[in-house]
Copies of this chain bind each other. A is one copy, B any other.
Amino acid sequence: MQLTQEQLEQFERDGYVFIPDLFSAEEIAVMKGEVPALFAQDRPENVRERVSGKVRTNFAAHTYNDVYRKVSRHPRLIGPAQQLLGGPVYIHQFKINGKAAFDGDVWQWHQDYGTWQADDQMPEPRAMNFAVYLDEVNEYNGPLMLIPGSHRKGAIPAAHDLSTTSYPLWVINNDTIRQLVAEGGIVAPKGGPGSALFFHGCIVHGSTSNMSPWDRWVVYVTANRTDNAIRQFKRPEYIAHRDFTPIELESDDCLLTHRRSAAE
């Protein structure tokens, strides 16, 4: 799959492209079916909420789960990523983020590249994210909020926040956010399961808590250009991968094929 010229221009200008229904209900059912078993595992790849103990983030499922290995090589995700980054890519990070109903924590305003640069010594912001919604994302269950155009500022100085949330993060100060929002506003792309959001590694984003009774599970993947591989291995390998082999694509129907094989 390839993005249109209009989508490429939107990504350049706004720092994101949102595509509703990129995956079918059947494909999402295959992905979602793996989640309870993944989250039930007692392993360091499962990061849990401070208070409730529920899984907030599962890392690197593509290295130990066959369905998510296929997701990480899916042409509808990796095709656009190669196109947007202009070359072959590898997976820098792969996570399933389960913002739980009622007690999902906030993510303060930040750029992902801030972390990749500071912790992983990624040379340039030639990496990006894509998010696949496993659940409906609406205004009530803590959707990702983006500041359009903020990626054009490049890497913004940030402070290391170890206390506010469950996971250490390089967060951006309020005066900067105020200025960026005055220029670009805020958007929170909402859509049903199967929707996908492609966003730049430098776009400033965050999310509020989830007070609704609706869980909000999203697969977040970071694709990095193979010639932009990280140079420091401070973080665990399951958080910042060290296999820089270019991804080879699966077939477009790989998730449906998986289901049929499993049913046999």
Q: Mark A residues whose CB is within 8 Å of B.
A: 101-102, 106, 108-109, 139-140, 142, 145, 174, 177-178, 181-182, 186, 188, 206-209, 211-213
Chain A to chain B contacts (Cβ below 8 Å), 28 pairs: A101-B174, A101-B178, A102-B174, A102-B177, A106-B209, A106-B211, A108-B211, A109-B211, A139-B139, A139-B188, A140-B145, A140-B186, A140-B188, A142-B208, A145-B211, A174-B213, A177-B213, A178-B213, A181-B212, A181-B213, A182-B213, A186-B212, A206-B211, A207-B211, A208-B208, A208-B209, A208-B211, A209-B209
A109 to B209, CA, bound (A): 13
A178 to B102, CA, bound (A): 10
- Residue ID in chain B nearest A185 by CB atoms: B140
- Residue ID in chain B nearest A176 by CB atoms: B213
A142 to B209, CA, bound (A): 10
Q: A209: which B residues are within 8 A, CB to CB?
A: 106, 208-209
Q: How far is the CB of A100 from chain B (nearest CB, A)?
A: 11
Q: A177: which B residues are within 8 A, CB to CB?
A: 102, 213
A59 to B43, CA, bound (A): 50
Q: A208: which B residues are within 8 A, CB to CB?
A: 142, 208-209, 211
Q: A211: which B residues are within 8 A, CB to CB?
A: 106, 108-109, 145, 206-208
Q: A207: which B residues are within 8 A, CB to CB?
A: 211
A106 to B182, CA, bound (A): 24
Q: How far is the CB of A82 from chain B (nearest CB, A)?
A: 33
Q: How far is the CB of A186 from chain B (nearest CB, A)?
A: 5
Determine which residue in A142, A178, A186 has the highest number of CB atoms from chain B within 10 A of its CB, and name it: A186
Q: A182: which B residues are within 8 A, CB to CB?
A: 213
A140 to B143, CA, bound (A): 10
Q: A106: which B residues are within 8 A, CB to CB?
A: 209, 211
- Residue ID in chain B nearest A209 by CB atoms: B208
A148 to B23, CA, bound (A): 32
A212 to B211, CA, bound (A): 17
- Residue ID in chain B nearest A188 by CB atoms: B139
Q: A140: which B residues are within 8 A, CB to CB?
A: 145, 186, 188
Q: A181: which B residues are within 8 A, CB to CB?
A: 212-213
Determine which residue in A188, A207, A212 has the highest number of CB atoms from chain B within 10 A of its CB, and name it: A212
Q: A213: which B residues are within 8 A, CB to CB?
A: 174, 177-178, 181-182
